Amino acid sequence: MGPLVKELQRHPDWFDTRLVVTGQHRQQLQQALAYFDLVPDVDLDIMKEQQSLAYVATAAIAGLDKVMEADRPDIVLAHGDTQTTFCAGLTAFFHRVPVGHVEAGLRSFNKYSPWPEEINRRLVDVVSDIYFAPTEVGRQNLLAEGYQENIYVTGQTAVDAALSTYRKDYTFMETRLNELLRHPGRIIAMTAHRRENYGEPMRQMFSAVRRVVDDNPDVLLIYPVHLSPIVRQAAAEGLQGHERIQLLEPIEFPDMVNLLARSYMVMSDSGGLQEESTVFSRPMVLMRDTTERPEAVEAGAVYLAGTAEADIYRVASRLLSDSEFYNRMASAKNPFGDGHASARIVQILAHYFGFTETLPDEFRFDEER
């Protein structure tokens, strides 16, 4: 949401923008806010140790209820599929406040994968009044579910953020990266954190990753480890102690973007990295059984490998040994936008509230398109 908040703030004649955060993940939130030079108007600060999904939901709804009562907003914008997004949409509905869902229409069609995100995004779409779908696939998903009005294909705001963050002469805030990226061989950037992969799937993933690095002496793998205690324990057990596997603390968004851009390939179970790796033409081995971003798989930029050790190892090894296969994935077209999604969303909102009389043709969609 960072680029969208900045774009909204550039139009004070149209919008009085208030930034509300729940504080669901404190460290990652602070990193993102600092990079975009954003200061929340309201910080609910709900995070506690060993928080459950039920706690996050109830605490967020209770806090957001007070915000809605005090501010009486004309619209609430929420992004994606987090607990915070669903809670914001539901609380706005309780107060009869319109909801705009940024990144609407993504579907894996499996309610437990990703978990709980698939249900979060479905539920927030139920209470939304205006839908900003990143791609035509998202719009078609919404139409198939019976949503008919105020659906716009805008591109993905994450692409805006990634393109504006990359620098050819970038100096990393995580100082170890400045040294690690001098590695003369190939670099694999990795993340892993999904709840549905806890336990045996994650052990399989890490075993595959270690085998890939063992079999390719020129490869250095860099993994900023998620703060989840479950993930950190699994990473320590499966990956620690290998001289060419570097386990880092979580890194800030601009560091991650610029690491991706300088890597040979990506291995991850992330949602957003499916878009960002594609922006920088870096083939990605997606260590998941489903994806809500099938556009990247269909384009050939992402390979849905599953979580079995043998399958992950096979795909990653092929990318490292088969130049034709690698080049085909690296040359895949980016389906997620051109870096102007936030500007489109603001223009659509201006039209929605009557500040502008018409929309540009690119924002008009009908059954024939």
Predicted pLDDT of residue 366: 41
- Tell the residue number behind the tokens 């690095």, with chain if given: 213
Kindly state the DSSP code that residue 190 receives in the 8-state scheme. Answer: E
DSSP H helical ranges for 36-170: 53-71, 83-94, 117-127, 136-144, 157-165
Cβ pair 139, 105 in contact under 8 A: yes
Which CATH number describes the domain made up of 167-330? 3.40.50.2000
d(CA 313, CA 18): 46
The string of pLDDT tens digits covering residues 189-225 is 999 999 889 999 999 999 999 999 999 999 999 999 9
Catalytic (active-site) positions: 81, 103, 117, 193, 195, 226
Residues counted in the chain: 369
- Tell the residue number behind the tokens 């139409």, with chain if given: 143
Do 2-156+337-363 and 167-330 fold alike per CATH?
Answer: yes
Q: What is the pTM of this model?
A: 0.88
The string of pLDDT tens digits covering residues 76-89 is 999 999 999 999 99
d(CA 209, CA 221): 9
Domains of the chain: which residue ranges? 2-156+337-363, 167-330
Residue 50 pLDDT greater than 80, yes or no:
no
DSSP E strands, the chain: 20-21, 42-43, 76-79, 99-102, 130-133, 151-153, 186-191, 219-224, 245-248, 265-268, 284-286, 302-304
Query: What is the DSSP code string of 36-55?
Result: TT---SEE-----TT--HHH
d(CA 162, CA 338): 11
d(CA 130, CA 92): 13
Q: Which fold has domain 2-156+337-363?
A: Rossmann fold (3.40.50)
Q: What is the dihedral of CA 276, 219, 226, 334, to 10 degrees?
A: 10
The string of pLDDT tens digits covering residues 166-192 is 999 999 999 999 999 999 999 999 999
The string of pLDDT tens digits covering residues 246-276 is 999 999 889 999 999 999 999 999 988 999 9
